[in-house]
Amino acid sequence: MPARTLKDKVVVIGGASKNLGGLVARELARDGAKIVVHYNSDSSRDKAEQTVADVKKAGGDAFAHQGDLTKVAEVEKLFDAAVRAFGKVDHMVNTAGMVIKKPMTETSEEEFDKMFAVNSKAAYFMMREAAKRLERDGSIVTVVTSLLAAYTGLYSVYAGSKAPVEHFTRALSKELFGRNISVNNIAPGPMDTPFFYPAETDDSVAYHKSSSMNGDLTKIEDIVPYVKFLLTDGWWLNGQTLFINGGYTTR
Active-site positions? Answer: 158
Per-residue pLDDT tens digits for 20-65 = 999 999 999 999 999 999 999 999 999 999 999 999 999 999 999 9
| Structural domain boundaries enclosing 127 | 10-243
CB 157 within 8 A of CB 112: yes
CB 78 within 8 A of CB 12: yes
Per-residue pLDDT tens digits for 115-142 = 999 999 999 999 999 999 999 999 999 9
CATH number for 141: 3.40.50.720
Per-residue pLDDT tens digits for 134-190 = 999 999 999 999 999 999 999 999 999 999 999 999 999 999 999 999 999 999 999
What stretches of the chain show up as alpha helix (H) in DSSP?
19-29, 45-58, 72-86, 109-116, 122-133, 156-162, 164-175, 202-210, 220-231
- Exposure of 204 by Cβ count < 10 A (0-12 exposed, 13-18 middle, 19+ buried)? middle
Instruction: Tell whether 219 is covered by a domain.
Output: yes
Instruction: Tell whether 251 is covered by a domain.
Output: no
Separation CA 70–CA 91 (nearest Å): 20
> Structural domain tally of the chain?
1
Instruction: Tell whether 151 is covered by a domain.
Output: yes
Instruction: Classify residue 245 by its DSSP letter.
Output: S
Q: What is the pLDDT of residue 2?
A: 59
| SS3 sequence of 37-66 | EEECCHHHHHHHHHHHHHHHHHCCEEEEEE
Instruction: Classify residue 146 by its DSSP letter.
Output: G
Q: What is the pTM of this model?
A: 0.96
Averaged over 73-95, what is the pLDDT? 98
Instruction: Tell whether 2 is covered by a domain.
Output: no
Separation CA 52–CA 16 (nearest Å): 9
Is residue 1 predicted with pLDDT exceeding 60?
no
Instruction: Tell whether 250 is covered by a domain.
Output: no
Averaged over 65-74, what is the pLDDT? 98
Instruction: Tell whether 234 is covered by a domain.
Output: yes
Instruction: Tell whether 1 is covered by a domain.
Output: no
Instruction: Tell whether 223 is covered by a domain.
Output: yes
Separation CA 14–CA 75 (nearest Å): 10
